[in-house]
Amino acid sequence: MLEKSYDAVVIGCGAAGMAAALAVHEGGRSVAIVEREDFPGGILMQCIHNGFGIHEFGADLTGPEFAERLLSKLLEAGIDIYPDTSVMDISGGKDARVVTACGAAHGVIRLACRAVVLAMGCRERNRGNVAIAGSRPAGVFTAGLAQRLMNLDGWLPGRRVVVIGSGDIGLIMARRLTLVGAKVLAVVEIMPYPSGLARNISQCLNDFSIPLHLSHIVSRIIGPERVEGVMVTPLVDGVPDYARSFHLSCDTVLLSVGLIPENELSRKAGIPLNDDTGGPRVDADLMSGVPGIFACGNVLHVHDLVDFVVDEGRRCGRAAVRYLAGESVRQFRIAAGASLRHIIPNYYAPDRENIIFMRPMIVKNDAVLSLKIDGTEFKRKKLLHIQPSEMIRLVLKPAEFPALEDGRENVLEAALE
């Protein structure tokens, strides 16, 4: 059994984990990364399309290129990475935690540390999560699995494809399949608006004349052994109108119906989770309800852009350094008001800069974001366009907060008008 000690251990070597580890190292603390895949980079390694890095590096990069820039910094810093190693348990108490993992190279390893950063990313919802009727034929994939099969393993999942859900991975795969000669018959979306970024609707569907059926469902998957087709049914006031169902002949179905933070370890460690996001509840320092355990990236909440994942990982690593130094900051609760599904983080710190993410529940032009503390508005911000598929990112500086009274809750409520 390999046993080592570090100031902090990061679980996950994707964009968030690499950024967090670099921040801990730059803060003068020892850090190691544990990664269950046999290569670092996370989901970026299968995202061979461009569009990454505009905010972080000022360059239009592919996923592997983006990951390489972070990885080169890790290697230059000499940060220990344990690839092909799965974390089984996080044990111990405050300032004396042990991360137990198992891998091919070292067998069982035990890493003692004072701080843990969770950066395990997220996973896809599958057919069982959306309960589609029909048999269980071959040819049903999640969009991310199909992406991995094509871009890392060199396999073509199918030649006549229907995509269920308009999440970004599904949209990108619709384009990818078209470019290699497959026929994407349609993208079927249950909501009356797309789930992916507007740029992906334009670049992945409109540019290739791929139909997008909004307010429709795939009501049945047909095929005893291999997918032979699907039934597509329109929704009227949210209710399926089966009389208007139509059949699409296909050999493959891709599911792009949402992502779920990978939080089995979080639950096992006793971390309170946010019902709205599926990730941990965190304070203004991105620390969970268990002292010394932090979370960042898609394990905390599903992001729109990897550039923001890196920024959040960096802030999380710096917060871990402050924790290791015994620093603290006054914090107050944040609440989601009208037309907002959730807000991350769950607390704000008025004495320093805060970066807050909000998920809108409505589609609207010329919306207004209203911020109140204990019912008194202190900031209004106009938003040209909002939709559920795109997070609202708000930066609040100390000078923007009003004077906070002692003895009051000072709850910050954000709402859309």
The string of pLDDT tens digits covering residues 5-62 is 999 999 999 999 999 999 999 999 999 999 999 999 999 999 999 999 999 999 999 9
pTM of the predicted structure, to 2 decimals: 0.94
Contact residues for 324 (Cβ-Cβ < 8 A; gap 6+): 7, 8, 27, 29, 114, 115
Q: Can you tell me which residue has the tokens 């008194």? A: 376
**Is 90 exceeded by the pLDDT of residue 179?**
yes
Largest CA distance in the chain: 67
**Is 90 exceeded by the pLDDT of residue 94?**
no
**Is 90 exceeded by the pLDDT of residue 217?**
yes
Residue % of the chain over a pLDDT of 90:
93
**Is 90 exceeded by the pLDDT of residue 197?**
no
Per the rule left: phi > 0, alpha: psi between -120 and 50, beta: everything else, 12 is left
Mean pLDDT of 210-217: 98
C-alpha dihedral sign at 208, 210, 214, 217 = negative
Mean pLDDT, all residues of the chain:
96
pLDDT per position as a tens digit, 132-158: 998 889 999 999 999 999 999 999 999
Helix 306-324, helix 15-26: angle, nearest 10: 40
**CA atoms of 147 and 65, how far apart (whole Å):** 17
* CATH 1.10.150 corresponds to the domain 334-416: no
What CATH number should be reported for the domain whose range is 2-123+260-328? Answer: 3.50.50.60
- Decide whether 2-123+260-328 matches 334-416 in CATH topology: no
pLDDT per position as a tens digit, 343-362: 999 999 999 999 999 999 99
Q: Domain 126-257 is in which class?
A: alpha beta
Domain boundaries, given as residue ranges, for the chain: 2-123+260-328, 126-257, 334-416
If pLDDT is split at 50, 70 and 90, which confidence band does 204 have? very high
pLDDT per position as a tens digit, 379-417: 999 999 999 989 999 999 999 999 998 889 999 999 999
